[in-house]
Amino acid sequence: MINRVVLIGRLTRDVELRYTQSGVAVGSFTLAVNRNFTNANGDREADFINAVIWRKAAENFANFTGKGAQVAIEGRLQTRNYENNAGQRVYVTEVSVDNFSLLESKADSDRRRAQNGSGQGQDFGGNSQNFGSADPFANANQNNNQQNGNNGQNANPFAANNNSEIDISDDDLPF
């Protein structure tokens, strides 16, 4: 049997992080996933898919994402049920997340958080800590340049030495 779900979308709200009685972290969120087609009016519709993530991954996901963040999730589809206060049986279908990927840069994430009123980042654990000048979300070349005192000069390996455009003909491209 195969039960795999892979989705790319945006969070409709901040992750709701809770803890079970035994101290296990669980995060709940809804992912808005655009459909591949438009409706009769030419508007693109979206599906809103509930998901749940557990343990340390839930804490990390809640700390590094927020409303509007573009993410990819991978997991399995599960259905559970419970009896509500009115005595009715309620069925819930959701994705149980195994893996996730953040699909936006740290700068985009910080800019979105500032627009949402969440501030410029978060203070995890009650105090501010500086983990060095290297940006953990930057690519390895940028971090190496910063650590070697290069200050990002010529950080783009494809840029010409005099910062002019590189002359490439269409015949040189593989596609």
List the pLDDT tens digit at each of the 175 positions of the chain.
899 999 999 999 999 999 999 999 999 999 999 988 888 888 888 999 999 999 999 999 998 888 888 999 999 999 999 999 999 999 999 999 999 999 888 777 777 777 766 544 443 333 333 333 344 444 444 444 444 455 545 555 555 555 555 566 666 666 5
- Reported for 126-135, long-range contacts at CB under 8 A and 24+ positions apart, including other chains, are 135/106
Residue 60 belongs to domain spanning? 5-104
pLDDT score, position 67: 87
| Model confidence pLDDT, tens digit, residues 130-162 | 333 344 444 444 444 444 455 545 555 555 555
Q: Provide the 3-class DSSP secondary structure of residue 103.
A: coil
Q: Is residue 111 part of a domain?
A: no
Q: Is residue 15 part of a domain?
A: yes
Q: Is residue 145 part of a domain?
A: no
Q: Which CATH number do you get for residue 47? A: 2.40.50.140
Q: Is residue 171 part of a domain?
A: no
Q: What is the dihedral of CA 100, 105, 109, 115, to 10 degrees?
A: -140
Query: Token pair of 122, please?
Result: 């978060």
Q: Is residue 125 part of a domain?
A: no
Stated length of the chain: 175
Count of the separate structural domains present in the chain: 1
Q: Which amino acid is at 23?
A: G
Burial track 8-44 (b if 16+ CB lie within 10 A, e otherwise): ebbbeebbebeeeeeeebebbbbbeeeeeeeeeeeee
pLDDT score, position 130: 36
Distance CA 14, CA 17 (A): 9
pLDDT score, position 146: 45
Q: Is residue 141 part of a domain?
A: no
Q: Is residue 86 part of a domain?
A: yes
Other Cβ atoms less than 10 A from the Cβ of 97: the count is 23
Nearest to 29 by CA among 54, 46, 12, 7: 12
pLDDT score, position 39: 84
Q: Is residue 26 part of a domain?
A: yes
Distance CA 81, CA 172 (A): 58
